[in-house]
Structure 1
Amino acid sequence: MDVPELLESASLLVPEDAATENDITVRDIWDYLVHDEWEIALGLLEEFGGTCSLPLEFWGKLAEAAEELRMERSAAWCHWRCSEIRNGVIRADLTLRPAAEARRTTPISGAGVLRPMWDIGHLSPTGNRAVSIASLWVESMPILAPGGRATVRLVPLTPSHWKHVQPGRQITMHEDTTVAGTAVILEVHRPSTAMPAR
Structure 2
Amino acid sequence: MDVPELLRSVSLLVPEETATGDDITVRDIWDYLVHDEWEIALGLLEELGDGRSLPLAFWERLAEAAEQLRLERSAAWCHWRCSEIRNGVIRADLTLRPAAEARRTTPIPGAGVLRPMWDIGHLSPTGGRAVSIASLWVENTPMPEPGGRATVRLVPLTPSHWTHVQPGRRITMHEDRSVAGTAVVLEVHGPVTDMPTG
Fold agreement, TM-score > 0.5: yes
Match of 1:151 in 2: 151
Deviations 1:31-75 (A, max 9, x none): 000000000000000001222111100000010000000000000
| Cross-structure match for 1:30 | 30
How far is the alpha carbon of 1:153 from its aligned partner?
0.2
Deviations 1:99-132 (A, max 9, x none): 0000000001110000000000000000000000
Work out the CA distance in 1 between the residues paired with 2:118 and 2:108: 16
Structure 2: runs of 5+ lacking an equivalent: none
Counterpart for residue 78 of structure 1: 78
| Letter in structure 2 aligned against 1:194 | D
Map Cα deviations across residues 7-36 of structure 1 (whole Å, 9 max, x no partner): 000000001111001100000000000000
Aligned match of 1:7: 7
Report the alpha carbon displacement of residue 141 of structure 1 after superposing the two structures with TM.
Answer: 1.5
Structure 1 stretches of at least 4 aligned residues deviating more than 6 Å after TM superposition: none
* Alignment-mate amino acid for residue 112 of structure 1: G
Separation in structure 2 between the aligned mates of residue 109 and residue 22 of structure 1, nearest angstrom: 29
Determine if the alignment matches structure 1 residue 140 to structure 2 residue 155.
no
Residue 69 of structure 2 corresponds to which residue in structure 1?
A: 69
Gap regions ≥5 residues in structure 1: none
Matched AA of 2:79: H
Count how many residue pairs are aligned between Structure 1 and Structure 2. 198
Counterpart residue identity of residue 91, structure 1 = R
In the alignment, residue 67 of structure 2 is paired with which amino acid? Answer: E
- CA displacement at 1:142 relative to structure 2: 1.2
Offset at 1:197?
Answer: 4.3
List per-residue Cα deviations over 1:58-94 (Å, max 9, x = no partner).
0000100000000000000000000000000000000
Q: C-alpha separation between the residues in 2 aligned to 1:165 and 1:195?
A: 23
- 1:120 equivalent in structure 2: 120
Q: Distance in 2 between matches of 1:184 and 1:191?
A: 20
Q: Residues of 2 paired with 1:51 and 1:36: CA distance?
A: 24
Query: Structure 1, residues 124-177: CA drift from partner, whole Å, max 9, x if none?
Result: 000000000000000011111100100000000000000000000000000000
Question: Matched residues in 1 for 2:73 and 2:81: separation?
Answer: 12
* TM-score normalised by length of structure 2: 0.99
Map of 1:96 onto structure 2: 96
The amino acid that maps onto 2:78 is C
Rounded Cα–Cα distance in structure 2 between residues aligned with 1:194 and 1:125 = 34
- Cα distance in 1 for partners of 2:117, 2:48 equals 31
